[in-house]
Amino acid sequence: MIAIDGAIVADAEATISVLDRGFLYGDGLFEVLRTWRGIAVDLEAHLDRLAASAALLELAIDRAAIAQTVHALLAQTTGDQRLRIVVTRGQGGPAMRFAAGTGGHSLIYAEPLLASPREASAAFVDYPLARRAAPGHKTLAYLDHLIAKELAAAAGADEAIRLGPDGDVAEGATSNLFIVNGDLFTPPLTGVLPGVTRRHVLACCEALGLVVTERRLTVEEFRGATEIFATSSVRGVVAITRLDGVSRPSGIGPVTQKLAEAYADRMTRASMAFSRDGS
Q: How far apart are CA 87 and CA 82, in angstroms?
A: 17
State the pLDDT at residue 102: 74
Q: Is the pLDDT of residue 277 over 90?
A: no
Smallest CA-to-CA distance from 172 within 140, 127, 141, 130 is with 127
Phi-psi region of 12 (alpha: psi -120 to 50; beta: other; left: phi over 0): alpha
pLDDT tens column, 230-268: 999 999 999 999 999 999 988 999 999 999 999 999 999
Name the pLDDT band for 165 (thresholds 50, 70, 90): confident
Helix (H) or strand (E) run with residue 221 in it: helix 219-224
Percent of the chain scoring above 90 in pLDDT: 82
Q: What are phi and psi of 28, to 5 degrees?
A: 180, 180
Lowest average pLDDT, out of 56-65, 97-106, 157-166, 174-183, goes to 97-106
User: 119-268, superfamily in CATH?
Assistant: D-amino Acid Aminotransferase, subunit A, domain 2 (3.20.10.10)
The pLDDT tens digits for 27-74 are 999 999 999 999 999 999 999 999 999 999 999 999 999 999 999 999
In this model, does residue 219 exceed pLDDT 70? yes
59, with CB counted inside 10 A (0-12, 13-18, 19+), is buried
8-state DSSP, 11 = G
- The mean per-residue pLDDT over the stretch 189-198 comes to 91
> For 15-24, 126-135, 266-275, which range has the lowest pLDDT when averaged over its residues?
126-135
Q: What are the φ/ψ torsions at residue 245 (nearest 5 degrees)? A: 80, 0
Domain boundaries, the chain: 2-112, 119-268
What is the band of 134 on the pLDDT scale with cuts at 50, 70, 90?
Answer: low
CA distances from 70 to 42, 60, 156 (A): 12, 18, 36
Per-residue confidence band for 127, with pLDDT thresholds at 50, 70 and 90: confident
What residues have CB less than 8 Å from 253, skipping those under 6 apart?
Answer: 180, 226, 227, 239
Average pLDDT, the chain: 93
Contact 117, 235 (CB under 8 A): yes
CATH topology classification for 2-112 = D-amino Acid Aminotransferase; Chain A, domain 1 (3.30.470)
